[in-house]
Structure 1
Amino acid sequence: MSLRKNFKILLTIALASGIIFSVTAGFTPNAYSETPKISKESVDVLTKTGQAMADVAAAVKPAVVNVSTSRTVKTPQSDFGPFFNDPFFRRFFGDEFSQRRMPREHKTESLGSGVIVSPDGYILTNNHVIKDADEIKVMLSDKREFNGTVKGVDPKTDIAVIKIDAVNLPTVPWGDSDRLRVGEIVLAVGSPYGLNQTITMGIVSAVGRANVGIADYEDFIQTDAAINPGNSGGAMVNAKGELIGINTAIFSTSGGYQGIGFAIPSNMAKTVMDSLIKKGKVIRGWLGVSIQPVTPELAKQFNLKEEYGALVSDIVEKSPAENAGIMRGDVIIEIEGKKVDEPDHLRNMVAGTPPGTEINLKVIREGKSKSFKITVGELPAEMQKTTGGEYDNVLKGVSVQDLTSEISKQLNIPSRIKGVVITDIAEGAPSEGTLRQDDVIVEINRKKITDIKSYENIVSKIKSKEDILLTVFRNGAAIYIPLSWK
């Protein structure tokens, strides 16, 4: 061994010895003579807490299911291979280079979770879990597997209701999410990455989270309980084992758990679910106001002492708000005694209020507080959108909206044309490539369509894989379009 190597070894040993000496020199054997003890009382408390949470988990797990879906996806093919699918080359050679052949179909599968909410097989999950699915399989905690049928979806809240043909199923009792407090312990139950019956624990990090960008109506519970892909649609329960949320999404830069998860509050989920089951669609409350946040600049202009509430920027004619005396420039600060922090809070509270209900509003007008009684109306059909995703027929995946006078003007459609306008067609839908966005459906099987209600009434009666005939207004003329299940 060379002198240089010996020197390095000795130096390393010397440094290590010096470190050890310096660390131990200041301590005496007495420093280690006493071992920290845990009191019996502390052990008993921790043991009881652990056993209590285990009891909650054991009670909830049987009612949480695995939801697996498959759907058909069309992938464009090119005679020239993937090389010419590059946008750079398509820019110079044109799209025809990548669109010479018919799209290729293949099946994709995804996993999610669901919560049994009734003994006869109704299951609550997320809309994004079952969206555009050709087939839904539900596996229970006892490994039994059933076919799932979609009973209703609400993309605006990301809620879906599916049904399996079974009885005497275990359920999770409903909790009151409005009473949830920041800091409460919660459990998240689901099937992350297909790992069935996974339980994670955390606390409520925040409530009333909006502007997350996941759904139109957002009032999320935020938690640090681990939520990962596959947890969507699973249960969030409190220490009593009550359902207080539906696990929905995570905030992540990596695609995995980073300590920020979101769940739809149980009260919102139950309201949407009940409406879907009983009426086939979601009935939402409506005031008829356009609202915006109170910024520091606006607070100054409107002489407001605090920056909260919902500023009324416009009012619909003959709406509940106008009839009650609400005016532009009013700042709504309370609804039924509950503080309105921001516009989304007001929107969610009104949407969840049954039409016909009389509510109390408090507003700030020209620096003074005023109170109003308003009878909540029903959100007009033209302000809603319906999706055909719940129909197992050729119009599956077709989203439509009432053809209003405003839309007719935008699309240059004559006022005499009545029907519903197509707003979206899901990828892989039976009508993809045949129907187009902005097509107006005026007849189905020679029966007139005048609005969403008449559309839903007819479409709901079309059988699976049944051929139909549409009359569609497109490019200034009405045309017949036969639709067949592909």
Structure 2
Amino acid sequence: MRRPVLTGAAALALGVAAFGAGQILSPSLSTAQQIKTEAPKAAAMLPGFADLVERVSPAVVSLEVVAVAAEEGPSADDLEGMPPQWRRFFEQMPNQRGNQARPREQRGGGSGFFITSTGYIVTNNHVVEKAKEITATLKDGRELKATVVGRDERTDLAVLKVEGGSFPYVQFAPEARVRVGDWVVAIGNPFGLGGTATAGIVSALGRDIRGEGNIADFIQIDAPINPGNSGGPTFDMSGRVIGVNTAIFSRSGGNVGIGFAIPASLADRTTKQIIEQGKVTYGWLGVLIQDVSREMADSFGLGSDVKGALIANVTPGAPAAKAGLKRGDVVLAFNGQKIEGSADLTRRVGQTRVGEVVRLDVVGAKGVRRTVPVTITARPTEQQLTQADPVPGADAAQPASAADNALGLSVGPLSAQARTRLRLPANEAGVLILEVDPDSRAAERGIRAGDAILTANDQEVRSAEELDAAIEAARAAGRSFIGLFVQSQSGGGGFVPLPLEAASKPEPKK
């Protein structure tokens, strides 16, 4: 458990402060300035929320969803491991023979809110993605059948439509300047209880909670939200929608004061596209990217404070390939605005209009900086992108010749079978990793036998000798790390920095 550790650290910190206060905080030894205290202003006192809730709550609806899910019987492997009497029982069950799926109904709930008087409702994609029937319950008790206009998995947003008119509605505030500490109110349908209002503050901005492919920089709030609040609005004190509640962080499934909302700027843009087109179109660059760590920056000879997105792979024929971008380039800025990391670049590209020409400030692995114009195209479907990804396959036959190196790796030439398994073209440079010292830094960082090293410090390697030469060149240049591009046997690839220390093995654990 983490709590005892934190508690102990806190106690230790308090002990140091108590014993060292006379010396550390002495005015004669410190140039720090005390933060002035101010009496609370009237507007800063605890507010009342009743008028706000009364005004906006008629626009919020509770959603009841009926979905169809496939109920699968035991698999052949499951049956094989059962005692004979249990195996016969499951084999003779109706609709289970042959591992056939039996459809069954599932009921769930969520929240939503009107954004037009004509019946358009915003909610989360995960609330309605498998729905065969949706009922929206209004504050006045009316129950209306809703249909799905369109859904978007990347933002987890969906738009519904109910028949009728003159519905009370609220509006997004895409230009609102949300600040940490602002009061917010969340209204929704937690646990199916119906319209429920909770209040809190904005805890943080720009949260990345979904990793690769994330298109939203989420707002973190501590207004209590629970299962069933998904798709409901988060309001500021003016009654404007600043976010759409979408997720919570919890070990128990209930509220612990950490909730996340999709920002209004993204929700407004996404829902408008769904209403107008029935779908959402995203900009696409056609690169696989990763963050630039300090170690990676060192291996490329860049400053330790460099931030950006490191290009690990370029899709053939994609906008990036046509613009001349290549593996090992680091994108530092997008249309003159600094890139903080891979998630930042993903969001900026995704939110760019198709056909727009953008300027990327790029530095190559050799330190040459350049500005590259790129014409953004429409992002392919998830299915098309998945089909283009490398997939694992059969083990490759090991070549006869191999050589160990200072990184704790035994490498040899890439066979035709290994290239097929790793989805590498015949003209792609690289060496196959045959063995990995289990005590090496390479093993610690996930490099495995069967992977391939394609480049070392942006230099193509085709043999163990060329890899050794790249290691020595990095050492001669005074670098502490060498950057390897590793094509993984489990699919995909990326840059891995390895230390160039005299001993490749980590220090023994104490």
TM-score range relative to shorter protein: 0.5 to 0.7
Aligned partner of 2:253 in structure 1 is: 255
User: What amino acid maps onto 1:323 in structure 2?
Assistant: K
Partner of 1:186: 184
Cα distance in 1 for partners of 2:44, 2:295 equals 51
Q: By how many angstroms is 1:317 displaced?
A: 3.1
Offset of residue 233 of structure 1: 0.3
Distance between the aligned counterparts of 1:54 and 1:150, measured in 2?
32
Q: Per the alignment, in what secondary structure is the counterpart of residue 280 of structure 2?
A: coil
Structural mapping, 1:92-107, within 5 Å = 92-93=83-84, 97-100=89-92, 101-102=94-95, 106-107=104-105
Q: How far off is 1:249 after superposition? A: 1.0
User: What pairs with 1:220-259 in structure 2 (closer than 5 Å)?
Assistant: 220-259=218-257
1:102 aligns to what SS in structure 2?
Answer: coil
Q: Structure 1 residues 403, 318: closer, same or farther in 2, change over 3 A?
A: closer
Q: What is the CA-CA distance between 1:300 and the residue it aligns to?
A: 1.0
2:47 is equivalent to residue 50 of structure 1? yes
What's the TM-score once normalised by structure 2's chain length?
A: 0.61
State how far apart, in whole Å, the 1-side matches of 2:281 and 2:266 are. Answer: 12
Offset at residue 112 of structure 1 (A): 0.5
By how many angstroms is 1:111 displaced? 1.3
Q: Is the 8 A contact 1:177 1:245 kept in 2?
A: no
Query: Which residue in 1 is equivalent to 2:120?
Result: 122
Contact 1:121/1:166 (<8 A) preserved: yes
Q: Give distance in 1, aligned partners of 2:232 and 2:369.
A: 43
Corresponding residue of 2:272: 274
1:19-68 deviations in Å (ceiling 9; x for gaps) = xxxxxxxxxxxxxxxxxxxxxx9796567x624x4333233211111011
Residues 173 and 355 of structure 1, relative CA distance in 2, 3 Å threshold: same
Pick closer, same or farther for the CA change 1:107–1:324 going to 2, 3 Å.
closer
Shift of 1:347: 1.0
Equivalent residues in 2 for 1:10-409 (5 A)? 45=43, 50-51=47-48, 53-75=49-71, 90-93=81-84, 97-100=89-92, 101-102=94-95, 106-176=104-174, 179-212=177-210, 216-305=214-303, 306=305, 308-365=307-364, 366-367=366-367, 369-380=369-380, 383-385=381-383
CA pair 133-96 structure 1, distance change in 2 beyond 3 A:
farther
Go from structure 1 to structure 2 and tell me whether the alpha carbon gap of 1:384 and 1:275 turns closer, same or farther (over 3 Å shift).
Answer: farther
Of stretches 264-273 and 224-233 in structure 1, the one that deviates more from structure 2 is: 264-273
Distance 1:215 1:88, change over 3 A: farther
The answer for the alignment partner of 1:444 in structure 2 is: none
- Say whether the 8 Å CA contact 2:63–2:134 is kept in structure 1: yes
Q: CA deviation at 1:408?
A: 13
- How far apart, CA to CA, are the structure 1 residues paired with 2:95 and 2:141? 40
Q: What residue identity is the alignment partner of 2:58?
A: P
Q: TM-score, normalised by structure 1?
A: 0.64
1:418-472 Cα shifts (integer Å, max 9, x gaps): xxxxxxxxxxxxxxxxxxxxxxxxxxxxxxxxxxxxxxxxxxxxxxxxxxxxxxx
* C-alpha distance after superposition, 1:354-395 (max 9, x if no partner): 101222322333445533332211113xx434xxxxxxxxxx
Distance verdict in 2 for CA 1:367–1:402, change over 3 Å? closer
Q: Partner of 1:134: helix, strand, or coil?
A: strand
Write the distance in 2 (CA, Å) between the matches of 1:373 and 1:215: 23
Task: Give how far 1:292 is off.
Answer: 1.1
Q: What amino acid sits opposite 1:227 in the alignment?
A: I
For 1:271, what is the secondary structure of its paired residue? helix
Q: What SS is found at the alignment partner of 2:111?
A: strand
Give distance in 2, aligned partners of 1:346 and 1:272. Answer: 18
Q: Deviations over 1:113-134 (max 9, x none)?
A: 0021111111111111112122
Alignment RMSD (CA, Å): 3.4
Query: Which residue pairs with 2:35 in the alignment?
Result: none
Assess, with a 3 A threshold, how the Cα gap between structure 1 residues 330 and 184 changes in structure 2: closer, same or farther.
farther
1:247-278 CA distances to partner (integer Å, 9 max, x unpaired)? Answer: 01111011111111111122222222222222
Instruction: Assess if the C-alpha contact under 8 Å between 2:312 and 2:328 holds in 1.
Output: yes
What is the CA–CA distance in structure 1 between the aligned matches of 2:73 and 2:301, rounded to whole Å?
61
Instruction: Determine the C-alpha separation between the residues in 2 that align with 1:164 and 1:226.
Output: 28
Q: Is the 8 A contact 2:308 2:339 kept in 1?
A: yes
Q: CA deviation digits over 1:226-259, x for unaligned, max 9?
A: 1101100000122222212110111101111111
Deviation track 1:204-234 (CA, whole Å, cap 9, x = no partner) reads 2222222446985442211111110110000
Question: Counterparts of 1:314 and 1:215 in 2: how far apart (Å)?
Answer: 15
Residue identity opposite 2:377 in structure 1: G
Q: More displaced, 246-255 or 106-115?
A: 106-115
Offset at residue 142 of structure 1 (A): 1.5
Shift of 1:146: 0.3
Structure 1 CA distance for aligned equivalents of residues 175 and 371 of structure 2: 27
Give the direction of change, closer, same or farther, for the CA distance of 1:46–1:290 in structure 2 (3 Å limit). closer
Counterparts of 1:42 and 1:269, CA distance in 2: 34
**Partner Cα distance (1:323, 1:143) in 2:** 57
- Could you say which residue in structure 1 is the equivalent of 2:445? none
Indicate the residue corresponding to 2:414 in structure 1.
none
Q: Per the alignment, in what secondary structure is the counterpart of residue 114 of structure 1?
A: strand
What is the CA–CA distance in structure 1 between the aligned matches of 2:349 and 2:144, rounded to whole Å? 37
CA distance in 1, matches of 2:77, 2:389: 39
CA contact (8 A) 1:154 1:160 kept: yes
Report how far residue 403 of structure 1 moved: 10
In structure 2, the gaps of 5 or more residues are: 1-38, 97-101, 394-419, 421-510
Rg larger for: 1
Note the C-alpha offset of 1:72. Answer: 3.4
- Are the structure 2 counterparts of residues 351 and 96 from structure 1 closer, same or farther at C-alpha, using a change threshold of 3 Å? farther
The one-letter amino acid paired with 1:190 is G
Structure 1 residues 331, 77: CA separation in 2 closer, same or farther (over 3 Å shift)? closer
| 1:264-320 deviation per Cα after TM superposition (whole angstroms, max 9, x unaligned) | 122222222222222222211011222111123211111232253210122233432
Supply the AA of the counterpart residue of 1:251.
Answer: F
What SS class does the counterpart of residue 163 from structure 1 fall into? Answer: strand
Does the residue aligned with 1:62 lie in a helix, a strand or coil?
A: helix
Alpha carbons 1:247, 1:264 under 8 Å: kept: yes
Q: How many angstroms does 1:136 deviate by? A: 0.4
* Letter in structure 2 aligned against 1:309: G
